[in-house]
Structure 1
Amino acid sequence: MDLSEPFSESVKNTVKIFKKAYETLTEKKNASESDKKRWIKLINENLIIFHKALKNKYISVNTRKAVHTGVVHLKRYKFLLESFHVGRGTFSTPKRVVWEDTESTFVSRIHTGVIINLKHVDIHDFFLDAFNLFEHQIQNKLSVMSMLKVNGTFCGEFIKSSNGTDINDFKYFNTRNAIIDQSTNLQQWYKDNIVDKILNKLSEFQERLSGWSLLKIISLEINYK
């Protein structure tokens, strides 16, 4: 029996639970430190389950994608909760973005890192800040590899109104592989192959009467081999 589809749905539902928990905890005036620690503990337990699933070579590619996406979301909520001061309603981390190495969706030579947004509300500022992490990681890889094939996936939380009710959903926008080598101007490459491509796709998506508008910036995934 193929359990891939039910497991994918389970991952999505798990993310929704932690999203709701995070929003409730950070908005709740009488939340306690023990509440925060309990949810962080639950996130860690689910991350262990998700990582084990990613190592299972028998699950489908689509399920691996769903699990990988779940890992990114849970790690983001974990970062945010760890820096949240219960009672004061403030965040202590000075970081606006963080880089997190993750298991690749594919069982291959592909490596994946995710730039997780913690504070940015403006997408241009996010991409600008994310470049510093991107540049550092790619330069490290180029010190041991002569050439890389790199692509990106932007994740955002979108909202639209339907019959008087707001609907939220995560949407993903991919770029194609492009070559980076020792002579590549990384800033120009990043603009041409990541920023411009994603901004164009976002603009097209929001303009074609989809009704969706970007609510929150979640992450930028970088795949390379």
Structure 2
Amino acid sequence: MFFDEVKAKIISLLEDIIRVHKSIKVNMETFANYILQTRETSDVKAFNSCNRIIDESLDISDIYKDFVDTMTSQTSEFEEKDSGWAIEEILYVEVNVNKNSPLCGSSYIKLPKFVENKKAVP
């Protein structure tokens, strides 16, 4: 339910940033409160997704769904690893955005001619 509540905000945020920068690198980090019932303690734990390059040609809703699937599978795996921790509530999600500046190969350097029979640059 938490991810459904924040979906519109996150998608709107990413669309606004893509309009400005055209290509961005994004990852999400979810912070949740976990409880360890055997010791009656609680702790905040974080799980993050991999960076994903997004541009104007991609459907942000599909990318958001991939992020949510990754986050929910990570939390499920953590709970099932005999850790004893159980999720109590999701506190918040951080969306980390960086401008993506891919390298361009657009320069030409003229090399000197080969010397005699050598096949090397002097």
TM-score of the superposed pair, with normalisation by structure 1? 0.43
Q: Between Structure 1 and Structure 2, which shows a larger proportion of strand residues?
A: 2
1:48-87 equivalences under 5 Å are none
What TM-score do you get using the length of structure 2 for normalisation?
0.77
Q: Which has the larger radius of gyration?
A: 2
The equivalent of 1:188 in structure 2 is 62
Q: How does 1:1-225 map to 2 (within 5 A)?
A: 125-162=1-38, 165-192=39-66, 194-225=67-98
Q: Which has more helix, going by share of residues?
A: 1
1 CA distance for matches of 2:26 and 2:70?
A: 13
Instruction: Report Cα offsets for 1:8-40 as digits up to 9, x if no partner.
Output: xxxxxxxxxxxxxxxxxxxxxxxxxxxxxxxxx
Q: Distance in 2 between matches of 1:184 and 1:129?
A: 22
SS at match of 1:143: helix
Query: What does residue 120 of structure 1 align with?
Result: none
Q: RMSD of the alignment, in Å?
A: 0.9
Deviations 1:50-100 (A, max 9, x none): xxxxxxxxxxxxxxxxxxxxxxxxxxxxxxxxxxxxxxxxxxxxxxxxxxx
Higher relative CO (Cα under 8 Å, sequence separation at least 6) belongs to 2
Amino acid at match of 2:58: T
Provide the aligned length of Structure 1 versus Structure 2: 98
One-letter amino acid matched to 2:29:
T
Which consecutive residues of structure 2, in runs of 5 or more, have no partner in the other structure? 99-122
